[in-house]
A and B are shown apart, each in its own frame.
Chain A
């Protein structure tokens, strides 16, 4: 029986920490400029309501029926996850499950924390967890079926112990259970409320739902029976939904709110100038990139895709379009992530001559035209301009067709197959195997051309889900990443930083690598 939740054992494997990394890229001054100083001075105290400017209305407050990556900051307040993650590297750590192990490759056993109750008083025991995991797999409205596709059945093997019987080995499950799939809701509430549970969620989280008025506000209040000792500090949180982050920032400067997240890097100077405002930032998995349709000319030629990767000066891109506040991307994982691979990172240094040579070799000595699609918002258009200019230098003439996010991503990934490449973002997943299988498997939606991936990729992905030890998984991901990047199936550009601004009375907030704020440690001073 092997246990995987011992963090300390794994600590040494890990590449540079966030602060070390920052010191590496731009000198020691960067960490100060980026506001990375730890905010945990003083002692935490209970009380007060945090007013948050949130950039998007939740798609649903039921983790199973929702679908937007912007839902998590709301969901985390109401729900606990079976597994949690380390803020800095996203390694798995205990949550509602105190520990977990794979007695054999096709079984995952979760030992649940005892004495936890839902907001409605229902005990959160093995039965409740089984109910949730079954619901994810069977409910017609579940958006999470693909996440737990490897689960054959869920068995109760004790009052606070369940066993997941798997169709195939899947060591990505613990981290999958740190996301939506691991958010456990009250079975009673789901049965009684039905669809209404979307709007009146009942979890075990640090706060309980009070109201959700669409596009207006979401209010949560303290769960007096929360299982984590001493937590939460805040009596409640009021999210004001303000889709324009610039307006959200204004609301914090003007004193209507205390905290705003998901700021665009261009807003940092404004936030810095404001009095009594603290700006916090940290790297995230949110990766801006060019998705390729590699099923048809000209991008079915590996050399053309490689040429694009060589032709992009990522440092300049970050400087010009992200106000310098982003991490240039060499693959779909940032330096801080436990599965980051240094050798893959060295593949594409900015090299326009090499790009031209590759293009010439591919038969495009006199240049070529590529149609790309993207979105109409101003910041995206700015990024397009930089891409157009950088690729023009090596003889690639890019033309962008723009529309709304829903429209253009459906046109590119859906049946229409519009454009050869899409400038967009990958918002990241807790386990890297999801990131890679969702984008590069043969029939994956985000593999726009549904083209065959390079030989060995599927096997390497399988291996990443078969290996249990984090070092072995890291090795499997190195192979995955190498195959993806050597074949240039994507052109990652940069990782966006989480950028938040808060009034000086907000204390204890820590950014995390997933880039989706959790408010558990936050308290108000004064």
Chain B
């Protein structure tokens, strides 16, 4: 299974980078204008286009990028000359830490809430939790981020308002910096986990085999933990996998609010200035991570539910 999945990476990466490259080229505006600076004449802009090979055909430029990428060279930023690989190596850990922390928070808060709601369906507790969950999905994360900053960073200086520290430099400080952004991201995640878990758990708990377990005289706690959760675990895993991928995308906005030099920041600036080597590099890295996440989810799912591996 793993081998087949790894083979899938190749066409997906090629397709994703090709489409993104095409979109950048379709958009009006040109990196040469930015490169030429403020005093630029049309002649100078044309010179720069030639100097950077921007006057070559679309396919030739794309092929050039692929050729270099195949040789392990993600080339350099057209704007600043920084090697794209360096930028990704620097930015990705920051973003991944936030995503991981947000995922952890989503699960840590979402699972108990979902379980509580599922065991008492139709009660006020259930309504309260589900009401909160709807709110969590509805609240825009950038707004929540601002509120969190205003409260926990400016009014009470518990967490830093901006910036990040690499995990490798100082793990404690890194987590302190990542907490508020992760919390802002996690609101939607908590809600989603709680709702999904509740609905699948309610279904399992009202199924015939659970009725049989009750009839056998098993304690309700044991039914919930051993049989209920085990049955919804694959479902939960799928939700977590999708959530991880969504959180990765959502960091674009949250990173801007917290001025975090992560992947989101990197791609936004690159896209605005049509710095395509950087955009391509970020897309490439993101695609690899998303595929890896999906693969991991599938592997875990087949461990949790042996039927999946045999299908």
B108 interface residue, CB < 8 Å from A? no
B149 interface residue, CB < 8 Å from A? yes
CB distance from A74 to the nearest CB of B (A): 12
CB distance from B211 to the nearest CB of A (A): 55
Given contacts A59-B80, A199-B80, contact A143 B161 (CB under 8 A): no
Q: Identify the closest chain A residue to B87 (Cβ).
A: A214
B285 interface residue, CB < 8 Å from A? no
Comparing A240-248, A355-363, A391-399, A470-478, the segment that makes contact with chain B is A240-248
Q: Is the CB of B80 within 8 A of A57?
A: yes
Q: Is the CB of A244 within 8 A of B256?
A: yes
Q: Which residues of B contact A58 (CB under 8 A)?
A: 80
Given contacts A213-B90, A244-B256, contact A60 B81 (CB under 8 A): yes
Q: Is the CB of B80 within 8 A of A240?
A: no
Q: Is the CB of A60 within 8 A of B80?
A: yes
- In the bound complex, what is the Cα–Cα distance between A498 and B257 (angstroms)? 23
Q: How many residues of B contact A (CB 8 A)?
A: 45
Q: Is the CB of A256 within 8 A of B87?
A: no
Among B38, B42, B90, B257, residue most surrounded by chain A Cβ atoms (within 10 Å): B38
CB distance from B39 to the nearest CB of A (A): 5
Q: Is the CB of B39 within 8 A of A146?
A: yes
CB distance from A58 to the nearest CB of B (A): 7
Given contacts A213-B261, A254-B161, contact A409 B44 (CB under 8 A): no
Q: Identify the closest chain B residue to A443 (Cβ).
A: B41
- In the bound complex, what is the Cα–Cα distance between A69 and B38 (angstroms)? 7
Q: Is the CB of B154 within 8 A of A406?
A: no
Number of A-B pairs, beta carbon distance below 8 Å: 145
A251 interface residue, CB < 8 Å from B? yes
Among residues 212 to 235 in chain A, which have CB atoms less than 8 Å away from a CB atom of chain B?
212-217
B12 interface residue, CB < 8 Å from A? no
- In the bound complex, what is the Cα–Cα distance between A68 and B36 (angstroms)? 9
Q: Which residues of A contact B269 (CB under 8 A)?
A: 57, 215, 243
Q: Is the CB of A216 within 8 A of B39?
A: no
Q: Is the CB of B37 within 8 A of A67?
A: yes
- In the bound complex, what is the Cα–Cα distance between A256 and B266 (angstroms)? 21
Given contacts A247-B258, A406-B274, A410-B28, contact A256 B36 (CB under 8 A): no
Q: Which residues of B contact A403 (CB under 8 A)?
A: 28-29
Q: Is the CB of B258 within 8 A of A67?
A: no
Q: Which residues of B contact A141 (CB under 8 A)?
A: 51
A105 interface residue, CB < 8 Å from B? no
B156-170 to A contact mask, C-beta < 8 Å, 1/0: 010011110000000
A353 interface residue, CB < 8 Å from B? no
CB distance from B207 to the nearest CB of A (A): 50
Q: Is the CB of A143 within 8 A of B40?
A: yes
Q: Identify the closest chain B residue to A416 (Cβ).
A: B28
Q: Which residues of B contact A213 (CB under 8 A)?
A: 82, 87, 90, 261
Q: How many residues of A contact B (CB 8 A)?
A: 55
Q: Which residues of B contact A68 (CB under 8 A)?
A: 34, 37-38
Q: Is the CB of B80 within 8 A of A250?
A: no
A438 interface residue, CB < 8 Å from B? yes
Among residues 25 to 54 in chain B, which have CB atoms less than 8 Å away from a CB atom of chain A?
27-30, 33-42, 44-45, 47, 51
Given contacts A199-B81, A247-B258, contact A407 B29 (CB under 8 A): yes
A43 interface residue, CB < 8 Å from B? no
- In the bound complex, what is the Cα–Cα distance between A500 and B30 (angstroms)? 32
Given contacts A215-B265, A247-B258, contact A67 B80 (CB under 8 A): no
A415 interface residue, CB < 8 Å from B? yes
Q: Is the CB of B41 within 8 A of A146?
A: yes
Q: Is the CB of A67 within 8 A of B266?
A: no
Q: Which residues of A contact B42 (CB under 8 A)?
A: 414-415, 445
Q: Identify the closest chain B residue to A140 (Cβ).
A: B51
Q: Is the CB of A251 within 8 A of B162?
A: yes
Q: Which residues of B contact A88 (CB under 8 A)?
A: none
Given contacts A404-B29, A406-B274, A410-B28, contact A143 B34 (CB under 8 A): no
Question: CB within 8 A of B256: which of A57, A59, A247?
Answer: A247
B59 interface residue, CB < 8 Å from A? no
Among residues 72 to 106 in chain B, which have CB atoms less than 8 Å away from a CB atom of chain A?
77, 79-82, 87, 90-91
Among residues 254 to 287 in chain B, which have CB atoms less than 8 Å away from a CB atom of chain A?
256-259, 261, 265-266, 269, 272-274
Question: CB within 8 A of B162: which of A140, A144, A147, A247?
Answer: A247
A73 interface residue, CB < 8 Å from B? no
Q: Which residues of A contact B149 (CB under 8 A)?
A: 250, 254
B136-174 to A contact mask, C-beta < 8 Å, 1/0: 000000000000010001100100111100000000000
Q: Is the CB of A240 within 8 A of B259?
A: yes
A196-210 to B contact mask, C-beta < 8 Å, 1/0: 101100000000000
- In the bound complex, what is the Cα–Cα distance between A409 and B274 (angstroms)? 14
CB distance from B278 to the nearest CB of A (A): 8
Given contacts A58-B80, A215-B261, A410-B30, contact A250 B36 (CB under 8 A): no
Q: Is the CB of B41 within 8 A of A445?
A: yes
Q: Which residues of A contact B47 (CB under 8 A)?
A: 140
Q: Which residues of B contact A410 (CB under 8 A)?
A: 28-30, 33
A145 interface residue, CB < 8 Å from B? yes
A253 interface residue, CB < 8 Å from B? yes
A252-267 to B contact mask, C-beta < 8 Å, 1/0: 0111110000000000
A427 interface residue, CB < 8 Å from B? yes
A95 interface residue, CB < 8 Å from B? no
A189 interface residue, CB < 8 Å from B? no
Q: Which residues of B contact A415 (CB under 8 A)?
A: 42
Q: Is the CB of A59 within 8 A of B79?
A: yes
Q: Can you identify 12 A-B contacts, CB atoms within 8 angstroms?
A: A59-B35, A60-B81, A215-B265, A216-B91, A250-B161, A251-B163, A253-B154, A254-B157, A256-B160, A406-B272, A407-B28, A414-B33
8 tightest CB-CB pairs across the interface, nearest first? A67-B37, A254-B161, A216-B261, A407-B29, A251-B162, A242-B259, A143-B37, A406-B29
Residues of B within 8 A of A (CB): 27-30, 33-42, 44-45, 47, 51, 77, 79-82, 87, 90-91, 149, 153-154, 157, 160-163, 256-259, 261, 265-266, 269, 272-274
Given contact pairs A53-B259, A199-B82, A240-B162, enumerate 11 new A-B contacts (beta carbons under 8 Å).
A59-B80, A67-B38, A140-B47, A147-B39, A216-B91, A247-B256, A250-B153, A253-B154, A254-B160, A410-B33, A427-B38
